[in-house]
Amino acid sequence: MKKHILSAVIPALLVPPAMACTTILVGNEASSDGSFIVARNEDYSANNPKHFLIHPRVEHQKGEFKSHANDFTYPLPETSLRYSAISDFDTNDLSMGEVGFNEAGVGMTATETIYNGQQVLKFDPYVEKTGITEDAIENVILPRIHSAREGVELLGKIIEEKGAGEGFGVAFVDEHEVWYLETGSGHQWMAAKLPRDQYFVSANQGRLRNYNPEDKANYLGSKTLISFAEQHGLYSLKDGEFDFHKAYSQDVENDITYNYPRVWTVQHMFNPELKTTITDGTAFPVFLKPAHKISVADVQTALRNHYQGTAHDPYANNNPKEPYRPISVFRTQESHVLQVRPKLPKAIGEVAYVAIGMPSLSVYVPYYQGMEHYLPGYDKGTDKFSDDSVSWKYRQLQTLVMQNYNAYAPEVEKAYAEFEKNTAVQQTAMEKEYLKLYQSQPQQAQKVLQTFEDKVMQDALSLTEQLTRQVMTQMTHDTDMKYHFEGA
């Protein structure tokens, strides 16, 4: 990061929205190993532990999905595909799925909170009472789709017919492509297919711009997307080509400190030659060809960014009032990186790397699409600390470290980095063994995969517990020295 540019302007801090995320998408020709990558930090509340779930395939299903967030309902599919989800603790594990893969090989992440323009919302407001929201999107869409494009089409259909209850961006991935959909208003939306040789970054703001309704291979949108904008004075033919962002999104003062720095930082990580300035978000490219191929580890590094090495690092500088909102925040509930490698069997070719809690103080553990179960404790936890919850085990360590970030964070970060490096070696060995067995001995191949998963989950937990004891020991000593009262 170019410190002198990042430190150039510090506008007054505005109160940020409660729900906020950062999304990164990478095409297969822009990645280092030919994989598609879809990633996001899910940010909301540190006291909201996540439940990791695998929903089984269900045949002859009847009834309807009922949202926990509002009165949105939708018929259940007759056949519900098996799919994974990371849900909130207070939704009975039936909604707020956030991220996962289904048995057809489709992955999705939902949602990136975005804010549509106040002018367009006067004409077509969000359908807050009965429209689809983040609470429903994965659990309604993922059990029934067989491609990324089908996911876009179904979500778009729901937005047009039932409305969107809020502004959001949703990414879909399969073995062929990545699609990203953004709302425009209560019933308007557009989606673009990610160019194979490029990447995309979003940070709580509508980012899509170009839209060609004739090019249905690369663009999809609501039936009246352009005509609605024309009708209400949001776009005119004399303005030139239709710009979705100008018509349906917004650029306000809060974006300068809350959103622009995150997009700028990632783009300058992957393209150091860029000349954009951090305060001019309207000039940021939408899609970019990276200067160097991007790896899963590169994306994880980006999701861990908190402007380290600059005057804007709120943790190293012990400044909770830092104007620039970091990518990695304490209230991150989980951070995920979906990787799809088309040349491998789906069971091992699709991996969700998930760091529980604040990613810069957590570890990315690989969860393969073909795994059958999580360890006990992955589906436990409420908003009150408990020892039986895996989410709370990670959060406990992070809370302790944040009491003195400079003293405790380096050792934690170092230990987790070594763990991820060693795990990558173990993954290669496991995948090689799986490939030898999966056609002739599928049950044995499945056993190899699940044995690996059980071990890496347990090893990550054991390391976390060890680090917690280590930090607690040091904190006890530091407190003793601070209030020692040794006497004469």
Whose tokens are 């690996």? That residue is 452
**Among 3.40.50.150, 3.40.1160.10, 3.60.60.10, 3.40.190.10, what is the CATH number of 22-368?**
3.60.60.10
Tokens of 75: 């018929």
Backbone angles phi, psi at 20, to 5 degrees: -160, 145
Dihedral in degrees, nearest 10, Cα atoms 110, 111, 112, 118:
140
Give the model's pLDDT for residue 433: 98
Strand-pair partners of 192 = 180, 219
Q: Digits of tens for pLDDT over the chain (488 positions)?
A: 443 334 433 333 333 334 589 999 999 999 999 999 999 999 999 999 999 999 999 999 999 999 999 999 999 999 999 999 999 999 888 899 999 999 999 999 999 999 999 999 999 999 999 999 999 999 999 999 999 999 999 999 999 999 999 999 999 999 999 999 999 999 999 999 999 999 999 999 999 999 999 999 999 999 999 999 999 999 999 999 999 999 999 999 999 999 999 999 999 999 999 999 999 999 999 999 999 999 999 999 999 999 999 999 999 999 999 999 999 999 999 999 999 999 999 999 999 999 999 999 999 999 999 999 999 999 999 999 999 999 999 999 999 999 999 999 999 999 999 999 999 999 999 999 999 999 999 999 999 999 999 999 999 999 999 999 999 999 999 999 999 998 76
Strand-pair partners of 193 = 179
CA separation for the pair 315, 375 (Å, rounded): 32
The angle, 0 to 180 degrees and rounded to 10, between the axes of the packed helices 134-141 and 148-162 is 130
Backbone angles phi, psi at 200, to 5 degrees: -145, 140
Give the model's pLDDT for residue 6: 43
Whose tokens are 């970030």? That residue is 405
Residue 259 CB partners (closer than 8 Å, separation 6+): 203, 204, 205, 281, 325
Of 66, 99, 278, the residue nearest 171 (C-alpha): 99
Of 93, 86, 245, 81, the residue nearest 150 (C-alpha): 81
pTM of the model: 0.95
How remote is the C-alpha of 217 from its chain's centroid? 25
Plot region of 412 (φ>0 → left; ψ -120 to 50 → alpha; else → beta): alpha
Contact 450, 480 (CB under 8 A): no
pLDDT tens readout for residues 69-127: 999 999 999 999 999 999 999 988 889 999 999 999 999 999 999 999 999 999 999 99
Tell whether the torsion through CA atoms of 337, 338, 344 and 347 is positive or negative: positive
Coil, strand or helix: which one is 350?
Answer: strand
Q: Which residue in 1, 20, 21, 203 is the catalytic one? A: 21
Give the model's pLDDT for residue 11: 34
Contact 323, 297 (CB under 8 A): no
Coil, strand or helix: which one is 210?
Answer: strand
Contact 325, 43 (CB under 8 A): no
269 is known as an active-site residue:
no
